[in-house]
Amino acid sequence: MSTSSSPSPKPPAAEPISVLAGLLAPLGSALAVVAHPDDESFGLGAVLRALVDAGIEVRLLCLTAGEASTVGAGSHLVATRREEVLAAAEVLGLRSVRLEALPDGGLSSLPAAQLTGLVEEELRGARLLVGFDRVGVTGHPDHAAATAAALRAADAHALTSLEWGVPEEIATQLRARLGAPFAGFARSAGDPVPVRVDRGVQERAIACHRSQDPNNLVLRTRLALQGDREWVRLVRRGIRRGIRPPR
């Protein structure tokens, strides 16, 4: 018997993220570079926690104080968001947080060298850079600017990078359902791989960002569509530029 409706597609086969994190563990330490306080939890939370669980020392560089958020706007927003990101970092097990105060909403207008310089200053021996996919994922230009800076540092210092994002199928659904300008992974940069994650700790970190409505519809719809899946792109880089091998 045939039926006119096709079955819904199965989610792609995915290994637990602990397998990937275990492969990256020999790198020892990682720097996550994000634009806003909450990106480390709403976006990267499950990935960062998996790296920490694998024994990697993870530090966070957040380039803005998130002062432009229309959610929770008020005179205490910057101080509140600082407290929230520090609490979330503790939940995620991050080693340290460096919170810069570059203009929220204005990162893409700043000189590239300024952003790259901040990433390089904060590397402190990190051999893995973690961030949003280079397209910016949610359509916010700050996300793309933060990742571009991280990737320039990764290129210059021959460091491995791990980009988090959503596949085009999910971006398409988010655009259609919410009118939110999500973008799937940049196609030119190599394929992302699906991984299975545990969202328990991530949810606790998300809950720290009370001023940003941890139950907001965009976040909840995305997480419902993703289930226990995340997609990441790993790029390993070669020899450190400008340093000659010993004779």
> Which residues of this protein are in contact with Zn ion, per CB under 5 A?
36, 39
The distance of closest approach from Cβ of residue 146 to Zn ion in the complex, given in angstroms and rounded to an integer, is: 9
Give, to the nearest 10 degrees, the angle between helix 77-92 and helix 200-207. 160
In the complex, residue closest to Zn ion by CB: 36
Name the residue nearer to Zn ion (CB basis): 50 or 137: 137
Name the residue nearer to Zn ion (CB basis): 136 or 192: 136
Nearest to 187 by CA among 214, 169, 167: 167
Name the residue nearer to Zn ion (CB basis): 24 or 44: 44
Tell me the CA end-to-end span of the chain in Å, nearest whole number: 73
**CA distances for 222 relative to 45, 70, 143, angstroms:** 14, 20, 17
Which neighbouring-strand residues pair with 162?
130, 234
Name the residue nearer to Zn ion (CB basis): 43 or 54: 43
Name the residue nearer to Zn ion (CB basis): 140 or 233: 140
The distance of closest approach from Cβ of residue 219 to Zn ion in the complex, given in angstroms and rounded to an integer, is: 11
CB 96 within 8 A of CB 136: no
CB 113 within 8 A of CB 150: no
Spatial separation of the C-alpha atoms in residues 194 and 196, rounded to whole Å: 7
The distance of closest approach from Cβ of residue 10 to Zn ion in the complex, given in angstroms and rounded to an integer, is: 31
Report helix, strand or coil for 160: strand
Placement of tokens 């799937």 in the chain: 184
Name the residue nearer to Zn ion (CB basis): 27 or 186: 186
The distance of closest approach from Cβ of residue 68 to Zn ion in the complex, given in angstroms and rounded to an integer, is: 10
Spatial separation of the C-alpha atoms in residues 5 and 210, rounded to whole Å: 42
Name the residue nearer to Zn ion (CB basis): 39 or 230: 39
The distance of closest approach from Cβ of residue 39 to Zn ion in the complex, given in angstroms and rounded to an integer, is: 4
Report helix, strand or coil for 24: helix
Nearest to 34 by CA among 110, 148, 128: 148
The distance of closest approach from Cβ of residue 13 to Zn ion in the complex, given in angstroms and rounded to an integer, is: 30
Phi and psi for 208 in degrees, rounded to 5?
-65, -25
The distance of closest approach from Cβ of residue 69 to Zn ion in the complex, given in angstroms and rounded to an integer, is: 9
